A and B are shown apart, each in its own frame.
Chain A
């Protein structure tokens, strides 16, 4: 009914969305171990070992240095660029006792106060954030 979708056309459009990393299979492959590390934090004993010595715990995983640095710095944009997925990365900030709003706000370049205020006022308008190419 919807007609056949060309995978190349389908994927090409994703790069046209400002400020967004769509979790494609390319990113999923790149971020495989980063995301699997995140999953390990669902077990309390692993969270505790991670807290005790984050670097040592990360070194148990075959992750790139870029991925480990993104985790250590809690730089979630860098983690997305390294193939992380936000639902996996949520295990890190949940282990830190931080909320989704805190983590999302940290990726926008806004202060937590300014981000919270924007949400209370109805959120970010899609105007200007739909398409890089079409400037809309």
Chain B
């Protein structure tokens, strides 16, 4: 049967993708970030996941104001990088896993999560930046990817608890897939940042670090954080952190942290990154 072997949390700042694409990894501003991600690249080379369920948000790339799905699962054979205004990122197309994706959609719908399914969709930096950070510069991504896009743009986004429960449903669905697959779930976005208005540039390191602590120590607290707390404490775009709770919910009650990294600033954003292993 398929099984979830690990969860990865990672910010998906577009500037990281630009620095990566332009070969700026060794510049002083970027070096601490890219040096840290060497750890996870080595680890991923050993882990060799077959499939990553990649939770991210679309930043007005595939979804405009015409359709606003709260949770949308990608079931296509492949997904092309989106042109977000400066041309598509020079990274490989993302290969999907339609059979597992449709299995997850069916199971989740019967489990009372009415996912939207999309077949033709371009994927933006929210999905491709974490892939670059985890796998580096490659001719082809080393695993299949099932995109799970979450609306965190138009309010209200889903509650943290709803995200957690979807994670639990995904786990049940993955564990009922008959093929022996090594599956990771990634939660992306965050941490504290605000990109708009006179309050832009907000960073809250103590709040972020308490969030990282409690992914392991007290995830029940994180499930109950209301949207207004994200907005006040982590900035208007810090709300992306609800997506980490889908990943965390999928790992079960107890986890072990294999790796943790926090860095300020990356452009306007606090970068958070964690690798978690579910414990029996």
Contact = CB atoms under 8 A, between A and B. Distances in A.
A87 B153 contact: yes
Contact of B64 (A14, A21, A36, A101): A36
Contact of A19 (B154, B198, B207): B198
Contact of A108 (B198, B228, B235): B198
Interface in B78-92: 82-87
Contacts of B210: none
Nearest to B231: A17
Contacts of B232: 17, 126, 130-131
Interface string B214-243: 000000000110111001110111000000
Interface in A105-136: 105, 107-109, 115, 118-120, 122-126, 129-131
A100 interface: yes
A28 B226 CA distance: 22
A20 B197 CA distance: 6
Nearest to B83: A42
A124 B202 contact: yes
B45 to A, nearest CB: 31
B155 A36 contact: no
Given A95-B85, A124-B202, A100 B15 contact: yes
Interface in A1-37: 1-2, 5, 10, 13-14, 17-25, 28, 32, 35-36
A101 B15 contact: yes
Chain A interface category by residue count: 35 or more
Given A100-B268, A122-B203, A87 B60 contact: yes
Contacts of B159: 2, 5
Contacts of A28: 65, 154
A5 B226 CA distance: 10
Interface in A74-93: 76-77, 80, 85-88, 90-93
A63 interface: no
B83 A124 contact: no
Contacts of A76: 196
A126 B84 contact: no
B52 to A, nearest CB: 23
B196 A35 contact: no
A122 B60 CA distance: 28
Give the interface centre of A1, A32, A35, A118 by most chain B CB atoms within 10 Å: A1
A14 to B, nearest CB: 7
A122 B154 contact: no
Contacts of B87: 44
Interface in A39-83: 39, 41-44, 47, 76-77, 80
B204 interface: yes
A43 B88 CA distance: 11
A87 B237 CA distance: 10
Contacts of A126: 202, 204, 207, 232-233, 235
A105 B155 contact: no
Contact of B59 (A87, A129, A131): A87
**8 closest A-B pairs by CB:** A123-B203, A94-B85, A19-B199, A19-B198, A104-B200, A87-B60, A124-B201, A87-B59
Interface of A: 1-2, 5, 10, 13-14, 17-25, 28, 32, 35-36, 38-39, 41-44, 47, 76-77, 80, 85-88, 90-95, 97, 99-101, 103-105, 107-109, 115, 118-120, 122-126, 129-131
Given A1-B223, A124-B199, 10 more contacts: A2-B224, A10-B156, A39-B60, A80-B196, A94-B86, A95-B86, A100-B15, A115-B201, A122-B265, A125-B202
